[in-house]
A and B are shown apart, each in its own frame.
Chain A
Amino acid sequence: MKAIETKELTKRFGTFTAVDHISFEVEEGEIFGFLGANGAGKTTAMRMLSGLSTPTSGEAVVAGFNVYSEAEQIKQHIGYMSQKFSLYGDLKVWENIRLFGGIYGLPEKKLREKTDELLQTLGLESERNTLVDSLPLGWKQKLAFSVAIIHEPNIVFLDEPTGGVDPVTRRQFWELIYEASARGITVFVTTHYMDEAEYCNRVSIMVDGRIEALDEPAELKRQFQAADMNGVFQALARKATRGE
């Protein structure tokens, strides 16, 4: 079974076609990079796949469930971390963990184990009772990611998860992503940072609502005769007619 399968997936807002007949597949356990300039339709596509918005036409199956008829089951099997901050700043670290564990219906005992394990992995044991607001941004993002996969989803959607932090912190964040992927969690990630694109197993690049390229980073570089992913992106983004 594929983690995600879409066929001619389309979303229109009035006369504006935000996502224009996109078709792609994501393998289980894969780290799939979803790239595109601002306004290319990444977020809209991601919202359709995570059940936040209904497609205008086309097909999509996420974790084996149809986005039209089985949106509720999809919600049980995915995790989501948005570009805006996804935790509650006025709640303590452990309270956030418990809240989201509770929302996803984790039993009390499991939740306690998970909390300890998670805090240990992140090295946040001493910050258990700290308000999330007072943590540094990099830590918040790592915590938000760990909370997004606390219920061991099949797929986790990350919408520009590392905005605003330095490359070293980003690298640390990606180590968490690799760990999750090694455990079999499929990672679907949008990003602006081309160094992050290099970390993905496969990358798709959206331009004006369509997927213009989809392959492994190395293959894309060869195809576009570019030294790095930035070169690939520039070559494609130049074709864009849509502004921000």
Chain B
Amino acid sequence: MKQFASFIRKEFYHIFRDIRTMLIMLVMPIILIILFGYAITTEIKSVPFAVLDRSRDEVTTRLTDRIGASEYFNLYKLLDSEEEAQDLFRQGKVRLVVVFPPQYASSPDAAIQLLADATDPNEATQLTGYATAIITAAKTDAIVQTMPIGIIPVVHLLYNPLMKGAYNFVPGVMGLILILICAMMTSVGIVREKEMGTMEILLVSPMKPVYIILAKAVPYLLLSMVNITTILLLSYFLLEVPIMGSLFSLVMVTVLYIIVSLCLGLLISTVADTQQAAMLISGMALMLPVMLLSGMMFPIENMPKLLQWLSNIVPAKWYIIAVKDIMIKGLSITSVLKETGILILMAFVLIAISVKRFKIRL
């Protein structure tokens, strides 16, 4: 036990004395949260739009006000001609133009035209969707006032009523940070000992290999917990993402995911011979799939079948689903049994492979 303690102390020295490691460990989570929170956002917020109002009556004015008053859109200009709309699009001044037909007030079923800049199709879809929602809402309000009978569709967005991007990326960033710290750092840490020749010294010592590995993992596990706390605090207070479910379940799932990540790091360390190789493998084999295939940035349902299938072996996918269910939907741990089961299975498979490989290699 004393051996183990002095070894863990050594690992902390390694971490605290290396500025690069410290930066990755402590600053990166904060930067990522802030980046995703404010810069790289897919949220629609204060988008400039213009209105070509051929009717200029009470109803269209009210609709224009209504769209402009929402937090999604800001009225840039009232237009006089279609050419003007073209110009504004070309100059990039507006991303949406609403066209009201003549005599709109007297023919409420007349179609309103929405023009959107589709160079970014995702955004265009979102913009028209939002605008449609606002117009529909305004129309139903008007209908309620004039005719009390009728079927009124009411749209409710569940779990994320404000359509905040943070609800999606906070679980994503957690999945990314943890795999980065646990897998990349552990693999680099172990490979460094191999590269420096100190691993041999440790292996001829009475210290059992399993303790060497455990001692490597413990500091990263602790620091990951610190990171998770930082991320959750930042997202709760800064980005106002609530934690609907039980914190305990969230922590349990997270610890499980950390264990999977540590095993991945161990596996990488048995494959890589140099620190650079370990870095590269972690980067290519872990970071990219987490970013691209976990559903964090791109919806998995829209991917080709092959990629959808591949995404199943990305641990982050299951972790992110579980975190969303617990944190955002407020479900209990029993409703994420499938995800936790898959993660446990992954952990066992990874441990089995890496322990086997570790023995052969050393």
Contacts and interface: CB of A to CB of B under 8 A. Distances in A.
Interface of A: 50-52, 72, 75-76, 78, 80-91, 95, 98-105, 157
A179 to B, nearest CB: 21
B13 A90 contact: yes
Given A72-B206, A102-B3, 12 more contacts: A52-B362, A81-B201, A82-B200, A88-B14, A91-B10, A98-B6, A99-B7, A100-B205, A102-B2, A102-B5, A105-B3, A157-B204
A164 B201 CA distance: 20
Contacts of A89: 196
B197 A103 contact: no
Contacts, number: 73
Interface residues of B, number: 23
Contacts of B5: 102
A90 B197 contact: no
Which 3 A-B pairs have CB atoms at the shortest separation, nearest pair first? A84-B197, A102-B6, A80-B204
Contacts of A91: 10, 13-14
Interface in B5-24: 5-7, 9-10, 13-14, 17-18
Contacts of A72: 206
A105 B197 contact: no
Given A95-B10, A99-B7, A105 B200 contact: no
Nearest to B211: A103
A104 B9 CA distance: 15
Contacts of A81: 201
A95 B7 CA distance: 11
B198 A95 contact: no
Contacts of A88: 10, 13-14, 196, 198
Contacts of A80: 200-201, 204-205
A89 B14 CA distance: 10
Contacts of B3: 102-103, 105
B202 interface: yes
B6 A75 contact: no
B197 A86 contact: yes
A150 to B, nearest CB: 11
B203 interface: yes
A94 B201 CA distance: 18
A103 B203 contact: no
B197 A78 contact: no
Contacts of A104: 205-206
Contacts of A51: 204
B204 A99 contact: no
